[in-house]
Structure 1
């Protein structure tokens, strides 16, 4: 997604992609990552996701990146945390105990900035990007996290019926981006009640991307 479109949606409260509860596929399948407590989980395009608070409540650390500063402010407000805010290069860094959120462009993030990442939770990030940006996204994700394991939630539907986000990202595409670096396991598929945009048959699929050598 183009940065200005993402920002406009937050500014105009057009945030239908924001879930009003913790993602059910996360609740059901998070255990598949087998993470010890205090592991650092990277959440790209985190917005003000309730999933972030769930990770923190379970004893994990969160590192996120988000275009919209207003979304990040709302996130900390809902977490009832007073963030420490500082400029770091291209980013405004919001932090509190066990949480670091960088306001800026994902593609500007560096390994030195985010530090060690133990796992990635991609629920609404790769599907927010147009097809031409996704190969670059996957390549940068791999470099940024040293190919940390991922719990990834994709959406699948007939892209010919809609040109709006979230975009269709199917199994073939995920394998194209990641099969050289991970073993991809499809854990679950959940039909979207009422369909995508209320009319197009669609499903959410949760994937575990783990060590290629396992």
Structure 2
């Protein structure tokens, strides 16, 4: 995936990027009741403006992104100072309360995620081919503590084998996550002109509360 993903960014083939905050984030994140100051993990974050919204809502953000082009574009869109350093093999750029870690999400270990208390996935799961999605769900469960809450936005479309974005039906989401998370469907949209339907899920990590 790494080569094709980098190529998409280098060629500007990023139709998945939204030029605004995703409406499901502003609508449903407050319902999760995540405490202000809770650090939010955003896997495969791209240059999503959703990270700005989370930061402005009082959450430090840790975004993981493989393509340095995405990180550079995110940082350039706001003329703020950037601190750069290396952490556990990742090149980290910090701008305000947003940290962007350039590298492979699967190389992020629990020691680096110690401060994480919530997560947000708008385009991570649906960016991964079927064989990788199970690994993703398991790795996410290892990174977040018991009672951590997250918002997942998924997508279904008629061309099930094509992607990214890939079609991930409700049954697969439940199969992937219910072993480690309480999974709740919050909303399902109407199909767009291409037959693509978004769904919004609340996840809460199972286990004893800290």
If the TM-score is normalised by the length of the shorter chain, which range does it land in? over 0.9
In the TM superposition, residue 212 of structure 1 has moved relative to its aligned partner by 4.5
Distance 1:134 1:78 in 2: 31
Contact 1:47–1:71 (CA<8 Å) still a contact in 2?
Answer: yes
Residue 4 of structure 1 corresponds to: 3
Residue 158 of structure 2 corresponds to: 158
In the TM superposition, residue 81 of structure 1 has moved relative to its aligned partner by 2.3
Task: Indicate the SS of the match to 2:193.
Answer: coil
Residue 43 of structure 2 corresponds to: 44
Report how many aligned residue pairs link the two structures.
207
Evaluate the alpha carbon distance shift between residue 211 and residue 108 of structure 1 in structure 2; reply closer, same or farther with a 3 A threshold: closer
Residue 84 of structure 1 corresponds to: 83
Contact 1:91–1:103 (CA<8 Å) still a contact in 2?
Answer: yes
Using the size of structure 1 for normalisation, the TM-score is: 0.90
Distance 1:159 1:4 in 2: 23
CA RMSD of aligned residues (A): 1.7
Unaligned 5+ segments in structure 1 are 196-200
| 1:186 paired to 2:185 | yes
Distance 2:122 2:77 in 1: 20
Contact 1:53–1:79 (CA<8 Å) still a contact in 2?
Answer: no
Distance 2:192 2:173 in 1: 24
Task: Indicate the SS of the match to 1:92.
Answer: strand
| 1:209 paired to 2:172 | no
Distance 1:63 1:176 in 2: 27
Residue 101 of structure 2 corresponds to: 102
Deviation >6 Å, runs of 4+: none
Q: Larger helix proportion, structure 1 or 2?
A: 1
In the TM superposition, residue 100 of structure 1 has moved relative to its aligned partner by 1.3
In the TM superposition, residue 169 of structure 1 has moved relative to its aligned partner by 1.0
Distance 1:70 1:115 in 2: 27
Distance 1:74 1:35 in 2: 28
Task: Indicate the SS of the match to 1:118.
Answer: strand
Residues 46-71 of structure 1 show CA distances to partners (whole Å, capped at 9, x for unaligned) of 11111111111122110110011111
